[in-house]
Structure 1
Amino acid sequence: MTTSSRTLQDLFGTFEREAFRLETLDDYSKSGNIGAYYAFLAGEPQPDDYNAGWVEELRSHTGKGKRIYRVHILRRPLTDYLRFELGWGYQKNMSGGEEFFILDITDRPNPLENVPDFWLFDSESAAVMTYDGAGKYLGSQVLPPERTAEFVGHRDAALAHAEPFTEWWAKYGA
């Protein structure tokens, strides 16, 4: 699905200051860590090495002073997948320096209705993520430079309406 000669992987390898991610789905369970998700559902403890590869990648970036952060748009009650992602994934990824924010639309309109999942790198390059209806990742499309400002605006709006994950989790987490 990538229509540019640059790929999402290229952008991860070359960003210099920051990488931002917007998550909009309630379920990504068909996109990876499927075994861990089923272990979570079965009530098993989180393995010590859960998400170790991603945490190492995070540390390689954040150790150089780069910022990696995301906003997840969600509503309560949380789906099983969101309880897994926030309880296992976010908690673990924070140990690698990733920052998380929650835009809870339970009692308010979504200020980013119809905005897709995306990554934004250094406010210069955006890649839209595509998923099927079951949360399976289908691919990404690196957008042309003239579309970047649109996604900078989406990032700024998401952050303006979100709160830090740790504060939100203290109120609503499992």
Structure 2
Amino acid sequence: MGAAVIRAIRNFNLENRAEREISKMKPSPAPRHPSTKSLLREQISGHPDVKGDIFRKDDKLLSLLRNVYVDSKDPVSSVQVKDTGTPQEPKESRLPKGHHFNINIENIPIGKISIVEALTLLNNHKLNPDTWTAQKIAEEYYLEQKDVNSLLRYFETFEVKIFPLDDKKAIQSK
């Protein structure tokens, strides 16, 4: 209900108010400083031809302006210039190891591993730490030794444990 009242007040006599604003006199230029008025009068009285030159159209300049043709194009980015100048060397990469569950990974840069590979190597190291040492993992996946040591030290895979139900009152799973 309040919106209807506000809309009615806002639209009241809208056409007449718009017409009044349009018919108002256009704003006049800002007044000049009093010190410049006297200087302008002196210049105009000393050179009466200047006032005529200010408002007169120069046909020669207008014809030259008509002959000007401006054609603009977007600048070529610096990345495109670099690509056309020198061909980029292909980076070394390797094929992914293991099963990637229908993920379209064609190649992996050397020194990096996919998430599936990271989980696999963490799980292998957890199950068989004697056979899957940091040195063997670094050689297998083409990684640096310090990166593998950090990975094995700071990351761990989740382990799901199912405890046997000792309590008869517990809800049985279906």
Classify the TM-score, shorter chain.
under 0.3
Normalising by structure 2, we get a TM-score of: 0.19
Q: More relative contact order in 1 or in 2 (CA 8 Å, sep 6+)? A: 1
Higher helix share: 2
Higher strand share: 1
- Name the TM-score, length of structure 1 as normaliser: 0.19
Structure of larger gyration radius: 2
